[in-house]
Structure 1
Amino acid sequence: MDDLKNDIEQKFIEDIKSLLAHARSGIAKQINVTMVATYYEIGKRIVEQEQNGHTTAKYGDYLLSKLSESLSKSFGKGFSKRNLELIRQFYLTYKNAKSVISHSLSWTHYIRLMRIEDEAERNFYEIECQNNGWSVRELNRQFDSALYQRLVLSRDKEKVIELSEKGQIIEKPEDALKDPYILEFTGLPESPSYSETELEEALIDKLQNFLLELGKGFAFVGRQVRFTFEEEHFRVDLVFYNRLLRCFVLIDLKIGQLKHQDLGQMQMYVHYYDRFVKLDEENKTIGIILCRDKKDTLVEITLPENNNQIFASRYRTVLPSKEELAQLIESKNN
C-alpha cells in the first residue's frame, strides 16, 4: 500500500515538474521571438534616422555611439556600438523578408546567418534551422561542412532555386543524397590508414552526428545486419530506415576506390531487402556505397540507365577547403 502511495506521489511530482519545464520553455521561446522582432524594429528606426538628411558615415557612427551610451545606462549590457551595428545590419539584411518576426530562431542564429553573403544559401540555412530545430552549433557544423553546396551539386537549376525557397525537400531517393559525405566527427585521418571496421565503429560511436550528416528522416536499424540466402551468409555494414521516403537504406563502407564488384554486391543486398524484408506498402530499398574515391563513368556503366536505387558517394574525414569545393562544383557542371 505504501509503495502504491509513493508511486502516486512521485507521478504527481513529475507531472508538476513537466508543467514547469514546458512553461519555462514556452516563455523562453516567446522572449526570443519578441527580442528578434524588437531588434528588427530598432534596426529599422536606426536606418530611417540615418536617412533623415544625414547620410554621412560620420553621422551614422555618432548616432550609434550616442544610442549605445544611452541604452547601456538604461538597460545594461547588450547594447554596445558593435551590437547596434549588428542590429542595423539585421534590418538591412532582412527588410524584404516578411517571415523574420514569426521565426523562432534565436538572435545568435541570425548573427551567424548574416555572415552568409549569398542570399539563396542564407535562406536555405535559415529554413533548415527552423524546420529541424538546429542549434547554433549544428548550424555552424552544417555550414562548415558545406551542406548547401553539396546538395547543389546533385540538383538542376530549378531544384537549386527550390532549396533557397523551401529548404531540403525529400520526395525521392536522390533528394536524400550528398556527394561527398563529410565525416570529420569521426576523428579519423584523411589518409586511409584505418580499416573499414574502424570506420564503421567510429560512425556508430558518433551515431547522432552521423544521423545529422545523413539528413532528414533517418532512423538507425542495425550494424552488420546478417541475412542468409541459399545457405550463404551476408552482412550489411549499416542499415537505416528513412521515414520520409518510407524505405530501408543500406550503407556499405569502402575505404578504397569503388569497384564494379562493390556495386554488384549492393545490388544483391537491395534486391534481397525488396523481396524478403520490406512490406508491400513500403517503397523500394535504397543502397548507398560510401567510398574514398569513385569513377562516375564506372558507376554509370555498371548500373542500369533508369537506376534510382543504388548510389555511390565519396566521403571525407576532414572538412574540405573552399578550393576543393569549388573544384567539385566545377567538375559536376562540366
Structure 2
Amino acid sequence: MTKTPRAASALTDPESALFASIRTLIESARSTVARGVDLVQVHTHFEIGRHIVEFEQQGEQRAGYGNALLSLLSERLTAEFGKGFGRSNIAYCRSFYLAYRERVLIVQTASGQSSLALGTAPFQIGQTASGQSERPFTLSWSHYVFLLGIKHAEERSFYEIESTQQQWTLRDLKRQFQSGLYERLALSRDQDGIRQLAQQGHTVSRASDLLKEPLVLEFLGLSEQARFSESDLEAAIISQIERFLLELGKGFLFEARQKRFTFDDEHFFVDLVFYNRLLHCYVLIDLKLGKLTHQDLGQMQMYVNYFDRHVKTDTEAATVGIVLCKKKHEALVEITLPQGANIHAREYQLYLPSKEELQQKLAEWADIETKQAPAA
C-alpha cells in the first residue's frame, strides 16, 4: 500500500524536536563570529549531520524513513532559511558526519551546556572535551562535498591533507584527483610509504620522493597525435610553468631553460633547471619525444656530474637528473645506470590517465609486494 507523503507541517513530536535543535544550531552559527564563513558552514553542516544520525539511531528504522526525514527537514529549513538546505545538501551533511565522525566538535562549557567548538567555547576547533587533539576541518564545504565522493578513506585523507597544505582551489583538487595523483605517488612507494601518504600527505625527504609516473601534462594543450618538436614541448611547459610546478610536486622553484655550460670549448644545454628548496638540490630535466635511449641517460649523467662539481655548493645535496620521455625501457635504465645513481627516467603523457587503470596497477603492485614480503 502506497503511503501519502506527509506535509512538512505535519511533523511528529520527535521530528519537531529534531527540527528545533537544528534550527537553533543554524541560528547560533549565523550569529557567531568565527574563523570565516566557510569554516562556520563546514562545522554547521557536520553538526546537522550528527543531529540527524543520532535522531535516526533512536528508533525510526522502517524502510524509506531516512529519505522522508531528509525531505521533510529540507522543506522546513529552506522555508525558513532559504537556499543551501536542499535535500541533496542535507544528505551530504549526513554523509559528512558519517565519514568524519571521529572529529568531535561539541564540547561542554563550564556551565555544562553544549557549545559548538568555533573558537568561542573553552576548547578550540579540533579538540575534544577530554583535551585530545583531533585534525581540524580546514577546507571549504565545496571541497568536502567533492571529497565525500572518494570511496577509500586513505585516499580521501591524502587529498584533504594536500588540499590544506598546498592551498588547492576546488579546481586544483579536482584536477589532481582526476590525474590519479594518489595512485601515481603510491606506485613508487612501499606499503609503509602508502600509509604515510594517508597520514601525512606527500612528504619530501629524499630524491625518490620527488618522483611520480607518469607526469600528466594535459594542461599543455598538446595533442598526442599532433606533430611537435622538443622545443615546442619545452615552450608549452614554460607558458604553463605554474601548472607544471604544481604537477612536479612540492618545493620546486624554476631557475632556467636551456641552461648553457661549457667545457673543452663545447657548449651544452640543459632543457629545464629547477631547484627544490625542501631537499636543497638542483633538479635537471631533459625532454625527449620518443623512446628513451642509453645516450639520453649518458647525457644526463654528464649534466648531473657538471652541476655536482661546478655549480652546487658544499652545503647543498647531490643534483637530481630526470629524463622525461614518452616511452622508457626499464631494462635499459637498469643496465645503463650504476646502482645508486641520482638519475631517473620518467614517462609523461598529454592526457588524463584512467583512474581505473592506475588503481588496477596499484592493486597488482600491492599483490606482488605482499607475496614478496618475508613470512612473519
Query: Same-fold call, TM > 0.5?
Result: yes
Paired with 2:35 and 2:180, the residues of 1 have a C-alpha distance of 28
Paired with 1:191 and 1:216, the residues of 2 have a C-alpha distance of 31
* Match of residue 95 from structure 1: 101
Evaluate the alpha carbon distance shift between residue 262 and residue 328 of structure 1 in structure 2; reply closer, same or farther with a 3 A threshold: farther
Evaluate the alpha carbon distance shift between residue 36 and residue 252 of structure 1 in structure 2; reply closer, same or farther with a 3 A threshold: same
* Match of residue 196 from structure 2: 162
Residue 62 (1) aligns with residue 68 (2): yes
Tell me how far 1:83 sits from its aligned partner. 0.7
Evaluate the alpha carbon distance shift between residue 323 and residue 48 of structure 1 in structure 2; reply closer, same or farther with a 3 A threshold: closer
Paired with 2:290 and 2:238, the residues of 1 have a C-alpha distance of 20
Tell me how far 1:30 sits from its aligned partner. 2.0
| DSSP 3-state at the match of 2:228 | coil
Offset from partner CA, 1:110-137 (integer Å, 9 cap, x none): 0000000011110100000011100100
Evaluate the alpha carbon distance shift between residue 330 and residue 122 of structure 1 in structure 2; reply closer, same or farther with a 3 A threshold: closer
* Match of residue 36 from structure 1: 42
Letter of the 2:95 partner, please give it.
Q
Gaps in structure 2 of 5+ consecutive residues? 1-32, 105-125, 127-133, 369-376
| DSSP 3-state at the match of 1:49 | helix
Q: Which moved further from structure 2: 192-201 or 138-147? A: 192-201
Which protein has the larger Cα radius of gyration, Structure 1 or Structure 2?
2
Tell me how far 1:91 sits from its aligned partner. 0.4
* Match of residue 51 from structure 1: 57
* Match of residue 307 from structure 2: 273
Paired with 1:96 and 1:210, the residues of 2 have a C-alpha distance of 36
* Match of residue 171 from structure 1: 205
Paired with 2:306 and 2:272, the residues of 1 have a C-alpha distance of 15
* Match of residue 91 from structure 2: 85
Paired with 1:50 and 1:170, the residues of 2 have a C-alpha distance of 44
Evaluate the alpha carbon distance shift between residue 183 and residue 65 of structure 1 in structure 2; reply closer, same or farther with a 3 A threshold: same
Structure 2 residue aligned with 1:182, among 210, 213, 216? 216
Paired with 1:40 and 1:101, the residues of 2 have a C-alpha distance of 14
Aligned length: 307
Tell me how far 1:70 sits from its aligned partner. 1.4
1:63-142 aligned within 5 A: 63-97=69-103, 102-142=136-176
Conserved? CA contact 2:70–2:90, under 8 Å: yes
Evaluate the alpha carbon distance shift between residue 177 and residue 37 of structure 1 in structure 2; reply closer, same or farther with a 3 A threshold: same
Tell me how far 1:31 sits from its aligned partner. 1.9
Structure 2 residue aligned with 1:289, among 310, 316, 323? 323
Letter of the 2:352 partner, please give it.
L
Conserved? CA contact 2:292–2:328, under 8 Å: yes
1:285-324 aligned within 5 A: 285-307=319-341, 309-324=342-357
Tell me how far 1:301 sits from its aligned partner. 1.0
Gaps in structure 1 of 5+ consecutive residues? 1-26
Conserved? CA contact 1:181–1:314, under 8 Å: yes
Conserved? CA contact 2:103–2:136, under 8 Å: no
Paired with 1:101 and 1:31, the residues of 2 have a C-alpha distance of 19
**Alignment RMSD:** 1.7
Paired with 1:331 and 1:68, the residues of 2 have a C-alpha distance of 44
Residue 235 (1) aligns with residue 235 (2): no
Offset from partner CA, 1:248-277 (integer Å, 9 cap, x none): 100000000000110000000001001111
Conserved? CA contact 2:216–2:352, under 8 Å: yes
Evaluate the alpha carbon distance shift between residue 139 and residue 55 of structure 1 in structure 2; reply closer, same or farther with a 3 A threshold: same
Evaluate the alpha carbon distance shift between residue 328 and residue 199 of structure 1 in structure 2; reply closer, same or farther with a 3 A threshold: farther
Tell me how far 1:247 sits from its aligned partner. 0.5
Paired with 1:203 and 1:321, the residues of 2 have a C-alpha distance of 22
Conserved? CA contact 1:33–1:102, under 8 Å: no
Identity of aligned residues (%): 52
| DSSP 3-state at the match of 2:64 | helix
Conserved? CA contact 1:37–1:101, under 8 Å: no
Paired with 2:224 and 2:34, the residues of 1 have a C-alpha distance of 42
Evaluate the alpha carbon distance shift between residue 129 and residue 326 of structure 1 in structure 2; reply closer, same or farther with a 3 A threshold: closer
Q: Which moved further from structure 2: 182-191 or 231-240? A: 182-191
